[in-house]
Structure 1
Amino acid sequence: MGDKRKKIGIMGGTFDPIHMGHLILGEKSYEQLGLDKVWFMPAGNPPHKKNRKGRASDEQRMEMVRLAIEDNPHFELSDIEMNEEGYTYTYRTLENLKEQNPDTDYYFIIGADSLYTFETWKEPLRICQACTLVVAVRNHTPVDELNREMELLNRKYNGRFIRLDTMNIDVSSQHLREWTVQHKSLRYYVPDKVIAYMQEQGIYLGGEE
């Protein structure tokens, strides 16, 4: 009898900043899918977010994620995409991981908003071949509408899309950055240790263009 395959969830994103919505999705994915670990993988230089003026530095984003997940034994911080030269692409990251770890199945966790733009991503077919896509409800997207879109993409790319059974979480990093500029409270939206680090570093107080 062969060894049991590992199941790793990947929470990708800029995490600028990381917030409770990210953490809840990671925890619910771990629970629902029976994952061994969930990796939080900050994107180094995502092509769809080229202008990063007024944002946290790569080092600050990494540290905010580290602080947010350090007390959860099945969450891990991955710096894989931070070490890439040029733009980072999901398909390339996943293919490299599969090649390096053939005994592991990867589950890439995205929000409903990302599902509707999935076909604009670089090499969607190769992404589907390299992982299972885990889709979380967001922005009050109707479940039946979400299911239709997942089924359409399943057929088109011969992929595997799973809907995450979790509550609708409407928290966005953009709103949190705006609140920081306006000196509004982030309490209960962002872990306390991350808020303290943001204040210490003065992150986002320069505003955005």
Structure 2
Amino acid sequence: MKRRKIGIMGGTFNPIHYGHLMLGETAYEQFGLDQVLIMPAKNPYYKNISSNIKEENRVAMIQLAIEDNPHFCFSDVELKRSGNTYTVDTLDELTKAYPDVDFYFILGADSLYHIESWKDPAKILALAKIVAASRADSYSAIDAQIEYLNDKYDAQVLRLNSPNLEISSSYLRKQIELGRSCRYLLPDAVLHYIKEHKLYEKR
């Protein structure tokens, strides 16, 4: 039986934007994935979730952003766990539950350079293929990091050739707080939800 190929894209998604969606879509196309899981973190150990946004708000924005894409799927795997969110625990849970699936963990170049500081990086690199986004002007640097990790851990780290959209959730939060336009930076349905629920507005 052919093994399924499923991408995982994690993050706080506060809010989700076109940069996230383009990353997932490009990975889906480039690696012939069957599905991409959009997986919000509950309590990431490396940062607090800004702006006092409730979990239900982040979930709703994700669901609105991906509702018209049949190969994107919302996943609450990390939201259902208590305590800090660690990638290794997520991958351990998923690979045990779905032994017939190859998981592709999608991340940005910055995260790839810091992956050895994550909890149990060797196990992360053993449990999943790592898909790292990069810009055309930084291929040589990320290729060197990929070669280093693959050699050291006998891993499968792959370069994702994704268009680079210089959008960050922190930038969007600040734009909204200042009352500036975020049109064309995130889906209209998400922007409407943010306005309707008065998220990120100056208190």
Interval containing the TM-score (normalised by the shorter chain): over 0.9
| 8 Å CA contact retained: 1:55, 1:203 | no
SS at match of 1:54: helix
Counterpart check, 1:167 vs 2:163: yes
Tell me which residue corresponds to 1:88: 85
Alpha-carbon distance in 2 for matches of 1:47, 1:54: 17
CA contact under 8 A between 1:10 and 1:38: conserved in structure 2? yes
Residues 134-153 of structure 1 correspond to what in structure 2 (within 5 A)? 134-137=131-134, 142-153=138-149
Q: CA deviation at 1:206?
A: 3.8
Distance 1:42 1:158 in 2: 28
Amino acid at match of 1:200: E
1:169 Cα shift?
2.0
* TM-score, normalised by the number of residues in structure 2: 0.96
The equivalent residue for 1:132 is: 129
Q: Please list every run of at least 4 consecutive aligned residues from structure 1 whose deviation after the TM superposition is greater than 4 angstroms.
A: none
- Partner of 2:182 in structure 1? 186
| Coordinate RMSD, CA, aligned | 1.3
> Structure 1 pair 78/136, CA: closer, same or farther in 2 (3 Å)?
same
- 2:61 corresponds to 1:64: yes
Letter in 2 for 1:161: V
SS at match of 2:179: coil
SS in 2 for 1:164: strand
Confirm or deny: 8 A CA contact 2:178 2:202 kept in the other structure. Answer: no
SS at structure 1 position matched to 2:78: helix
Secondary structure in structure 2 of the residue aligned to 1:80: coil
Deviation at 1:116, TM superposition (A): 1.2
Once the two structures are superposed, residues 60-99 of structure 1 have per-residue CA deviations (whole angstroms, 9 ceiling, x without a partner) of 0011000000000000000110010101110010011000
Counterpart position of 2:40: 42
Displacement of 1:198 in angstroms is 0.4
Q: Percent identity between the aligned chains?
A: 47
CA contact (8 A) 1:19 1:189 kept: yes
For residues 82 and 55 of structure 2, what CA distance do their matches in structure 1 show? Answer: 13
Runs of 5+ in structure 1 lacking a partner? none
Asked if 1:196 is matched to 2:192, the reply is yes
Partners of 1:141 and 1:95 in 2: CA distance? 34
Number of aligned residues: 203
Determine which of 17, 25, 28 is the counterpart of 1:27. Answer: 25
Q: Tell me how far 1:55 sits from its aligned partner.
A: 3.9
Gaps in structure 2 of 5+ consecutive residues: none
